[in-house]
Amino acid sequence: MAEDVMVVNGLTKVFTAREKGSGLRRLFGRKKEIVAVDHVSFKVRRGEILGYLGENGSGKTTTIKMLTGIMTPTSGSARVLGFVPWERKREYLKRIGVVFGMQSLLFWDIPAMEAFKFYRDVYEVSQDDFSERLEYFDSILGVKKLAEKPVRKMSLGERMKCNLVAALLHYPEIVFLDEPTIGLDAVSKEAVRDFIRDFNKKHKLTVMLTTHDVLDVEALCTKVLLLDKGKKIFHGSISRLKKNYLGYKILYVEYDRVKDKARLESVVRMGRLVGRGKNWVELELKTDGRLPKAVAALLKAVNVIDLDVKEPGLDRLLVKVYGEKK
Amino acid sequence: MRAGYYLRLLWDMARVRLAEMREYSADFAVLLITVPSYLLVNLFFWQVIFSHARVIAGWTLGEVILLQAFMNLGFLFWNLLYIFPEELDEIIVSGELNTVLSKPVNPVIYLLVTNIDVLGALKNLSGVVAYFLVAGWLGADISLPGLLAGVLMVFLGVTIASTIVFLIQSLSFWFGRTNALNLFYNAYFTVSEYPVTIFPASVKFVLVMFLPVVFFTTGPALSSLKEFPPEGVLGLIALSLLVWTVWLLSAWLLWKAGLKRYEAYGS
């Protein structure tokens, strides 16, 4: 079994801010405390891709900032690769990588290759390793040619590809990705996901990923951790999340003839109607034994030309989770 | 501190800045006209002042131009080694510091080496060369050991000024932007254009201890003149080291405290 590379216990970050007001009230208003991360504990194993999810302001980025040594927590402890992150030991920072979707590691006016060379020296990567790694990045992301044009002339997707290369040139053991696909088109998102997946597989890279794109999570994550107002509300596999929070599946049936209208209506009443057309029906059915009964009844009620039973998407699940919390 | 490592990064950044200049070669070409024009206008200004009196508060035209040369040398050191005032404020407030803190580097040294300003250095280098030549031509009585001591002193003077800047800009950790304090730098740079010896004693004290302009221009200019005694040079160097130690300790403590409460603005 892979070892735990990240052990976080009761991590908490409290910010102080002045109470809102105008003029002098804003300057001298009473201080109030904002708990951004509230006693969060979890472990991550080597090679795991953890989706760190939550609504805006739920404490995702703050956690990442503490685990990358940028910020000091108010209380709690964490060991990442055996180091306390906020002690900012050089040996630790050399073994991690960080990508903030909204911040660039590149130099705006000149080709990205200059940034790659700079980070080669920052992380003391040998020239041989540098060349070999560039070949690898090029084989998946096609960055070699891209890196020759000035960053300002690149599309957002191209910039993100180059940013990823700059952040991973030193082959970190853990990478923290804060919304790496934000603002990208579908093709660029897929390229970024393919790359993360490949790097994870080939180099046993551990990834902590925050994103608002559920497709990122479904495509990449082995586990997810859900935050709500700084508090952990779930940590585990996606299938367990679905089991815990959903307990239903979606049944879709398309038919060309109704054999028994009353039976069809009784099937519809077994679940929650999602949609209905002239010759199709979509239902949410609880996974408590109702589903096989409904399928059997449908086969008798209509002349089926297509039938599909699927799990609801993660997007629906998250809406349900956070909806319930509110 | 790993000097070789950071020198390598400094060299890398110099290469990056040169590449940026190549991207905007037209802008660079315009500089070839504007920089000499600026130097000529400045020389003309001092020439007009000294057309009314041969010596002002004991300073001749050649000596004041020598002071200008040292001021440009100071800015040259600043361009190459230190971070300019407004930049650190921006780096803290915009969250750019996040990127720095997640790298295996000493954040202060990294900020210094990555903020090298090659274009500014070239501008100031031309000033250094031009003003030294003009000062010599105007008959400023320069001694070689004095000149070397002056170079050392201007380096120390810039180091002190940069340390003060660092200290003040570290207040951004608490107050966000510290633009209002830019007046301090403006005062510093304005006063540094004139010999400190022309001011009354109380102002001189401030300009030695709190706004240590004396080590930036006047001290180096005096040191390089033959009439200034060697013990005076050594005294100035020792005093600058003392003043620097006090400011450095304060800046280091404030920076450390600031990092601890850094709120890492931006995503």
Q: Token match 């401030």: residue?
A: B206
Q: Do the domain assignments include residue B267? A: no
Residue range of the domain that includes B220: 3-260
CB contact under 8 A, A107 and B16: yes
- The shortest C-alpha distance from A186 to chain B (Å) reads 22
Which of A68, A102, A124 is opposite residue B266, by nearest beta carbon? A102
Contact residues on chain A for B9, CB-CB shorter than 8 A: 118, 121-122
Q: Do the domain assignments include residue B36? A: yes
Per-residue pLDDT tens over the stretch A195-231: 999 999 999 999 999 988 888 898 999 999 999 999 9
Mean of per-residue pLDDT scores for chain A:
90
CB B161 within 8 A of CB B238: no
Which of A100, A107, A122 is opposite residue B98, by nearest beta carbon? A100
Q: Do the domain assignments include residue B130? A: yes
Q: Do the domain assignments include residue B266? A: no
**Mean pLDDT, range A53-69, rounded to an integer:** 92
Provide the ipTM.
0.83
Q: Do the domain assignments include residue B203? A: yes
B4 close to A (CB below 8 A)? no
pLDDT in tens, chain B (267 residues): 689 999 999 999 999 999 988 888 888 888 889 999 999 999 999 999 999 998 988 899 999 999 999 999 999 998 988 776 567 888 888 888 999 999 999 999 999 888 889 989 999 999 999 999 999 999 888 888 888 988 998 898 889 888 888 888 888 888 887 777 777 777 777 888 788 888 888 888 888 777 777 877 888 888 888 777 888 888 888 888 998 999 999 999 999 999 888 877 655
Measure the CA–CA gap between A269 and A271, rounded to whole angstroms: 5
Nearest residue on chain B to A167, judged by CA atoms?
A: B103
Contact residues on chain A for B99, CB-CB shorter than 8 A: 98, 100, 103, 105
Residue A5: pLDDT band by 50, 70, 90 thresholds? very high
Number of domains chain B is built from: 1
| Structural domains of chain A sorted by starting position, each given as residue range(s) with its CATH number in brackets | 4-243 (3.40.50.300), 247-310 (3.30.70.1150)
B256 close to A (CB below 8 A)? no
Window 104-123 of B: residues touching A by CB (8 A cutoff) are 104-105
Please tell me the predicted confidence (pLDDT) of residue A326. Answer: 62
Which of A90, A101, A107 is opposite residue B104, by nearest beta carbon? A90
